[in-house]
Structure 1
Amino acid sequence: MRRFLDGLYLVSGGMAAVFMVGVLGAVVLSIVSRQMGVHIGGLDAYAGYFMAATGFLALAHTFKSGEHIRVTLVLAALPAKGRMRLDIFALLVACAITANLCWFSGKLVLDSFSYNDISTGDDATPLWIPQIAMAIGTFIFFIGVADETIRRMRGIPEANSEEIHYE
């Protein structure tokens, strides 16, 4: 199971990287086409869709790599048992928040699909298509936060953090 979850976070990060290259491609194509006097409608919108996909798909990989910003001032001042309890509490709160985000991201995709919601730009893209990346990214992020919460409750310290160690 550990290998599967780590692979899931890695694939999600890889997909984020692909979408980041998509942002670059859309922006470069927009600049080049503008210089050539050709208008390609919707490139700005697609750059935005790719940017959103990049951000959401990178959440779990970034979290599991220990790269999210953490304020450890209070944790460092506590004894080891207090650090562990506060860390688990914070992770439980993060689970609740990410579960909520995951739920409403999925609901947004379903609502956009059922109402045939399309973008108002030149591209007229059905909005549920780019919103899928947000829903998938928040779902994988929720899995990552829940995974880390369970690991901490079992007494396993964060693998990629050198700031806080439980004794």
Structure 2
Amino acid sequence: MRRLLDFFYDAAAWLAALAMIGVLAMVLTSILGRLLNFHLPGTDAYAGYSMAAAGFLALAHTLKKREHIRVTLVIGRFAGRTRRALELWSLAVATLLAGLFAFYSCRLVWQSHLFNDISTANDATPLWIPQIGMAVGTVLLFVAFVDEWVLEITHRRQPDEHDEEAQHHE
């Protein structure tokens, strides 16, 4: 199961990287269009879609690599059982919020498809297509938080480097 989850996190990160290349391609196409006097409709919209997909698809991988910004102002003051209880509570709340975010992101994709919602820009893209990146990214973030919560409950979660440093100074 661990290898499968890590595969999904890594695959999403690679898709995020491809989406960033998509942003670059759209921006370069727009710049070249201005220089060479041609216009490719939708480049701005597709750059935006790609940027959103990159951000959402990278969330789970970033969490699992411990690259998210964590504010430890409160939790860093505690040790032992109190600290662990706060970690579990924080992960539970984050899991709940990520689950809600995933649910409503998937619901948005479904409703956009159901209502045939189309971009108001000149590209007229069915919006459910670029919204898939957000839905997949938020579902994977939810899975990653559940993963972290289970690892914490079973005492298999690796402590952050900063957490280790703080505990050594106590």
Q: Which amino acid aligns with 1:50?
A: S
Name the residue aligned to 1:163: 162
Name the residue aligned to 1:61: 61
The alpha carbon displacement at 1:61 in A equals: 0.3
Write out aligned runs for 1:120-139 (5 A): 120-139=120-139
What SS does the aligned partner of 1:164 have? helix
Name the residue aligned to 1:29: 29
1:88-145 deviation line (CA, Å, top 9, x unaligned): 1000000110000000000000100010000011100000000011100100110000
- For structure 2, the residue ranges without an aligned partner over 5 or more in a row are none
The alpha carbon displacement at 1:82 in A equals: 1.1
Name the residue aligned to 1:41: 41
What SS does the aligned partner of 2:163 have? coil
The alpha carbon displacement at 1:73 in A equals: 2.4
The alpha carbon displacement at 1:156 in A equals: 1.9
Q: Which amino acid aligns with 1:157?
A: R
TM-score normalised over the length of structure 1: 0.96
CA contact (8 A) 2:148 2:157 kept: no
Name the residue aligned to 1:7: 7
Distance in 2 (alpha carbons) for counterparts of 1:13 and 1:81: 34
Distance in 1 (alpha carbons) for counterparts of 2:102 and 2:73: 29
Q: Which amino acid aligns with 1:146?
A: V
Name the residue aligned to 1:153: 153
Question: How many residues end up aligned between the 2 structures?
Answer: 166
Report sequence identity in percent: 46
1:56-89 deviation line (CA, Å, top 9, x unaligned): 0000000000000101122221122111110110
Structure 1 runs of 4+ with >6 Å offset: none
Q: Does 1:109 align with 2:109?
A: yes
Q: Does 1:84 align with 2:84?
A: yes
- For structure 1, the residue ranges without an aligned partner over 5 or more in a row are none
Q: 73-82 or 61-70, which moves further after superposition? A: 73-82
